[in-house]
Amino acid sequence: METSEDSLFEQAMARYQAGADAADVLPDFLQITETAPRQSAGWTCLAWLQLLCDQPEEALRSARFAVKLNGQDPQARINLSLALLETQSKGVRDHIQVVQQVMAFAPDLSSELKASIADGLERRPGWKSLEKVKNWLEL
């Protein structure tokens, strides 16, 4: 059975994927994480939107929580790496290595990550931290 949180998540994702501005979708994901705080995907998306909206401190908190909930999610790890870079914090290499390991065991995820990185660079041109992560992952 689909919950209202699932429906809100799907609607917010659809709006983002249709080209809605990150700042317009951000409040939806704040609400999703408030109503479903154990849903790692909500925190992962929230961190990504916060990064796109140049809110690195908030993104760092959200990304850390997403990784805590699902340490195997490569997008959550990428978001955490980006937030660490943006806040000039330590620990980036460990998360990049986990993403590389996950990609080695699940190569089908590479295309999803490539698309995500391309989306980020399109929505935030010249994003130096994302360009670094892209180069490290060789995507």
Q: pLDDT 10s digit of each residue in the chain, 139 long?
A: 456 667 899 999 999 999 999 999 999 999 999 999 999 999 999 999 999 999 999 999 999 999 999 999 999 999 999 999 999 999 999 999 999 998 888 888 888 999 999 999 999 999 999 999 999 998 6
Distance from C-alpha of 92 to C-alpha of 25, rounded to nearest angstrom:
27
Q: What is the CATH number of the domain that holds 90?
A: 1.25.40.10
Q: Which of 138, 119, 120 is nearest to 51 (CA)?
A: 120
Question: How is the chain split among helix, strand and coil, in percent rounded to 5?
Answer: 75, 0, 25
pLDDT per residue as tens digits for the range 74-113: 999 999 999 999 999 999 999 999 999 988 888 888 889 9
pLDDT given at position 1? 43
What is the tally of structural domains in the chain? 1
Whether the pTM exceeds 0.85: the reply is yes
CB 49 within 8 A of CB 69: no
With tokens 């390991």, the residue in question is 101
Domain that holds residue 18: 4-137
pLDDT the model gives residue 87: 97
Provide the pLDDT for residue 106: 86
